[in-house]
Homo-oligomer: A and B are copies of this chain.
Amino acid sequence: MDEYHFNEPEPLINLIKALKRLPGIGIRSARRIAYHLMQYDLDGAGFLSKSLSDAVASLRHCVSCNGFSETELCFTCASDFRDKRLLCIVENPSDQNSVESSHGYKGLYYVLMGRVSPLDGVGPKELNFQKIFDRVHAGNVEEVIIATGFTAEGETTAQFLIDMFSSANIKTSRLARGVPAGSELEYIDAGTIAWALIDRKIIN
């Protein structure tokens, strides 16, 4: 089947092309979404159009944590109630929210907005590691907590950060690896069990 139909009106073709450009959306999904919006949800189409132009116009990166913000300094960085001696480095805003929702952390954040992924051409330079280093120095940070994912890319990113901070004698830690809370050991993969054994905690 052709990607774009014979005799299809141009505004519809443009809409399908714009939707197809989104990550994870192929030509069939783009077409289905376009038909749905035009047939059943014109309000939704208008709302999305406005939300996109508003976001493009008003969102920027917080100068301190690199997260999305409407103001120069985001709400979290501007807060007086955060412990400025701790800096937690996460891959993206969703990861930041996961740490926040644990209610176990009151320090500040740095959001990488990505992770080291050589195959995609993303290295320490693309993620602006120098900016993170400057941020740590300028802010009198006493401990950097690396909270990148425990995936191949997340681990690589963590290693680059650890190398950078240890050569500068900055105290650095990584989230603990182990058995998730509430899990039966029976259902946990062998790799996780192996790490939980290596990182086991001496009680007495």
Question: Is there a chain B Cβ closer than 8 Å to A156's Cβ?
Answer: no
Tell me whether A70 and B10 are in contact in the complex, defined as CB-CB below 8 angstroms, given that A1-B97, A49-B53, A55-B38 are known contacts: yes
Identify whether the interface residues of A are mostly helix, strand, loop, or mixed.
Answer: helix
Interface size classification for chain A: 35 or more
Give Cα A199 to B186, complex, Å: 55
- Spell out A's residues near B (CB within 8 Å): 1-2, 5-12, 14-15, 17-19, 21-25, 29, 31-39, 41-42, 44-59, 68-70, 74-76, 92-94, 96-98, 100-101, 113-114
Name A14's contact: one of B9, B22, B46, B51 (CB within 8 Å).
Answer: B51
Q: How far is the CB of A51 from chain B (nearest CB, A)?
A: 4
Contact check, B49 vs A36: say whether CB atoms are below 8 A apart: no
